[in-house]
Structure 1
Amino acid sequence: MPRFSKSVRVPYTPAQAFDLVSDIGRYPDFIKWITAMRVSNVRLDETGATHCQGDAVVGFKGFVERFSTGVVADPAAGTVVASLIKGPFRALRAQWTITPVERGGSDIALEIKYEFRNVLIAMLAAANHDIAVDRIMSAFLAEAQKRFGAAPSASVPV
């Protein structure tokens, strides 16, 4: 099953990074190929984790696909995990992990494991997955700067 991952160190607090990554309803605002997102069935469990369903419309290089994921955003663990409910995949699991950095800021890691049903889409995705993950991270970093500014006051000076 194809898999890719990337991590970046950011000057934002773990809480800020988590708020950004877990705000899936706003993904279409800053990730250009996510053209629509509907969030439903939102519930908070006894541990403080939020569970919901995300229904996305994605357009890329002439292809438009819809898929649904179950999302668990756990602030205590610093994770946001999306797992396939239905869509063009045989399998899909995306996990964001936010880790505090000793001198302030956070490390944000994204790992995605996926397998498409359609061979043509699978080949297109395989040829572009490094570009896609770089663009995802760039989009999140740009949105973090918009939301939180260049130097968040909650971070500890280096």
Structure 2
Amino acid sequence: MAQTVIKKSVLVLHSAEKMFQLVDTVEDYPQFLPWYGKTEVISRENNELKARLYIDYMGINQSFATHNINQPPHQIRMNLLEGPFKSLHGTWTFTPLGDDCQIQFELHYELMGLLSRIISPVFSVVTSKLVDAFIQEANRRYA
């Protein structure tokens, strides 16, 4: 299976600090990202986060873990620790524009094995809706 690349850039009416904090707080994901059944922080030290995300969407249950390197409030770089991927890495970038910010999200992933045929459509839907879901939650929280 070929590598999939997701890229999205959007201007939001919230500060880079608020958007960074929202994306970094994986513990809250199940509250507003309906495809995550739960999340688990493996470790959080200095500007590094290791977390496991449990996808529970349309009967597909799968988990994966990432190691995130944070540069608050400007960037979060994600790399795969384990899961049903041949590879997964991505970057959230938050560029301050006065009281607002520009969000750039880029994700590269490649699923592997027989499971990839089942998970691929689900993960594709999840990743395509991800940035919009964060913006909707920011609008709700920070309005």
Aligned CA distance change for structure 1 residues 139 and 127 (closer, same or farther; 3 Å):
closer
Pairwise CA RMSD: 2.0
Question: 1:148 matched to which residue of 2?
Answer: 142
Q: Report if aligned partners of 1:99, 1:108 keep a CA contact under 8 Å in 2.
A: yes
- Provide the residue aligned with 1:155 in structure 2: none
Deviations, residues 95-153 of structure 1 (Å, cap 9, x unaligned): 1110112x541011111100111345357525873x4334212210111012211xxxx
- The TM-score with structure 1 as length reference comes to 0.80
TM-score by length of 2: 0.87
1:26–1:15 CA distance, 2 compared to 1 (3 A): same
Residue number in structure 1 paired with 2:27: 25
2:70 is paired with a residue whose SS is: strand
- Please tell me the residue identity of whatever aligns with 1:97: T
The CA distance in 2 between the partners of 1:11 and 1:68, in whole Å, is: 30
SS of match in other structure, 1:118? coil
Q: CA deviation at 1:70?
A: 0.7
Unaligned runs of 5+ in 1: 45-49, 150-158
Is the counterpart of residue 115 in structure 1 residue 117 in structure 2? no
Runs of 4 or more above 3 Å deviation? 131-134
Q: Deviation at 1:52?
A: 1.8
The residue correspondences of 1:74-113 to structure 2 (distance < 5 A) are 74-75=71-72, 78-101=74-97, 103-113=98-108
Are the equivalent residues in 2 in contact too, given 1:6–1:133 (CA < 8 A)? Answer: no
Residue 8 of structure 1 aligns with an amino acid whose one-letter code is: V
Distance in structure 2 (CA, Å) of the matches to 1:124 and 1:38: 20
CA contact (8 A) 1:115 1:122 kept: no
SS of aligned partner of 2:51: strand
**Is the counterpart of residue 68 in structure 1 residue 65 in structure 2?**
yes
Residues 60 and 121 (structure 1), Cα distance of their counterparts in 2 relative to 1, 3 Å cut: farther
Kindly indicate whether the alpha-carbon contact (under 8 Å) linking 2:84 and 2:115 is maintained by their aligned counterparts in 1.
Answer: no
The 8 Å contact of residues 25 and 39 in structure 1, kept in 2 or not, is answered as yes
Tell me if structure 1 keeps the 8 A contact 2:75–2:94.
yes
- Displacement, 1:35? 0.8
Aligned length: 141
Which one has the bigger strand percentage?
2
State percent identity of aligned pairs: 25
Select the structure of larger CA radius of gyration.
1
